[in-house]
Amino acid sequence: MTNVLVTGGAGYIGSHACKALRAAGYTPVTYDNLVTGWRDAVKFGPLEEGSLSDRARLDEVFAQYQPVAVMHFAALSQVGEAMAEPGLYWRNNVEGSLTLIEAACAAGCKSFVFSSTCATYGEHDNVVLDEHTPQEPLNAYGASKRAVENILRDFEAAHGLKHVIFRYFNVAGADPEGEVGEHHRPETHLIPVMLEAIDGKRPALTINGTDYDTPDGTCVRDYVHVMDLVDAHVLGLEWLREDKGSRVFNLGTGDGFSVREVIDASRAVTNREVPHSEGPRRAGDATKLVSGSTRAAAELGWTPGRSTMPQMIADAWRWHQNGHYEG
């Protein structure tokens, strides 16, 4: 079998990527410290527990599985936490990634798919965000991801490490077959927080700011279905295996939804009220993050066919009601 090392394979996006890799004929080898990930989410290949900062453990796993590529999902990814604890983000996301990249190069594994983010762009008024937009992150989360992008470029120059960088917009939804889904503790992301509020599992959703310069005053984001997102990763892996060279791709649909619009869509899909209140802005939030790129469609042949707002909410709601992990 052809092995792919998947860091963070026990997490939300990583577990869906493992499912897609398996379906494409690869064996996903999850490397995860299970701090935010779930053992139960590792269903499509072996689990190797370990930390990104443990070089000896990484060397052991590379030697055992001889992966053809790395997909690197493991990271801290909360804007609020990044504003409060930037050191955590620099240490975990940057130092951990550097150790992983060094281990991959030392093992001769020179194909690397990296989860980056639209948070690397920061605030750009009325600018279409494409892969050429200057990266001016507003928070340590985006800054840490931008730093890893730069590390990858340096390692390509020095060691020939080929990489595909995906800058995700907002990822939502769940595996429609219900095998894996989104499960963060604590949950901070808009759609799962909203579903918990609908279900009475938390008091109410607080809208983080209603005075932004947008049509309804709330932040606008571009939401992409996790299944579409991981399909792009398989295409990115094949791109590298066909020796097409290092490339950056935005992964978004180009449609922006405000927080209030997401609330309205959730009400329509679930047929339930969404308890919510209005609160202050969250530090580190950009007003609007919407992709203006067609590169992934044009060059990878990516078609985000599941990424409609009702579909994403319906899939997330189904998982919320029926799926969960014990540990």
The residue annotated as part of the active site, out of 121, 141, 168, 212, is: 141
For residue 98, the one-letter residue type is L
Q: Residue 27 or residue 210: which is nearer to ligand UDP going by CB?
A: 210
Chain-centroid distance, C-alpha 188? 14
Both tokens of 276, joined, read 């919510």
Instruction: Please report whether residue 316 would count as binding ligand UDP according to CB under 6 A.
Output: no
By the rule CB under 6 A, 189 interacts with ligand UDP: yes
* Among positions 74, 259, 269, 316, the unique one binding ligand UDP when judged by CB under 6 A: 259
> Taking CB under 6 A as the rule, does residue 250 contact ligand UDP?
no
Name the token pair of 152: 């990858």
How far apart CA 181 and CA 41 sit, in angstroms, is 8
Residue 107 vs 205, nearer CB to ligand UDP: 205
Min CB(17)–ligand UDP separation in Å:
18
What is the gyration radius of the CA atoms in the chain, in angstroms?
19
Burial class (CB in 10 A: 0-12, 13-18, 19+), 150: exposed
Interaction of residue 282 with ligand UDP, rule CB under 6 A: yes
Which residue in 15, 93, 208, 293 binds ligand UDP (CB under 6 A)?
208
CB of 289 to ligand UDP, least distance (A): 7
Span from 33-41, 182-190, 240-248, 306-314 in contact with ligand UDP (CB under 6 A): 182-190
170 lies in the binding site for ligand UDP (CB under 6 A): yes
Distance, in Å, from the CA atom of 187 to the CA atom of 183, rounded to the nearest integer, reads 7
Rounded to an integer, what distance in angstroms lies between the CA atom of residue 10 and that of residue 3?
16
Quick one: which of 20, 42, 94, 205 contacts ligand UDP (CB under 6 A)? Answer: 205
For residue 188, state whether it binds ligand UDP (rule: CB under 6 A): yes
Which strands sit side by side in the sheet containing 220-221, from one edge to the other?
A: 257-258, 220-221, 288-289
Using the rule CB under 6 A, which residue among 100, 219, 251, 290 binds ligand UDP? 219
Candidates 206, 210, 214, 246; binder of ligand UDP (CB under 6 A) is: 206
- As a whole number of angstroms, the distance between CA 236 and CA 253 comes to 17
Q: Is 58 in the site for ligand UDP (CB under 6 A)?
A: no
Decide if 141 is catalytic.
yes
DSSP structural state of residue 6: E
Q: How far is the CB of 7 from ligand UDP (least distance, A)?
A: 20
* Residue 207 binds ligand UDP, judged by CB under 6 A: yes
Would you say 84 and 110 are in contact if contact means Cβ atoms under 8 Å apart? no
Q: Which residues of 43-58 are buried (b: 16+ CB within 10 A; e: fewer)?
A: bbbebbbbbbebeebb
Strand 162-168 and strand 47-49: the pairing is unpaired
Position with the least CB separation from ligand UDP: 219
Catalytic residues: 141
Instruction: Report the interface residues with ligand UDP, using CB under 6 A.
Output: 79, 170, 188-190, 193, 205-208, 219, 221, 259, 282, 285
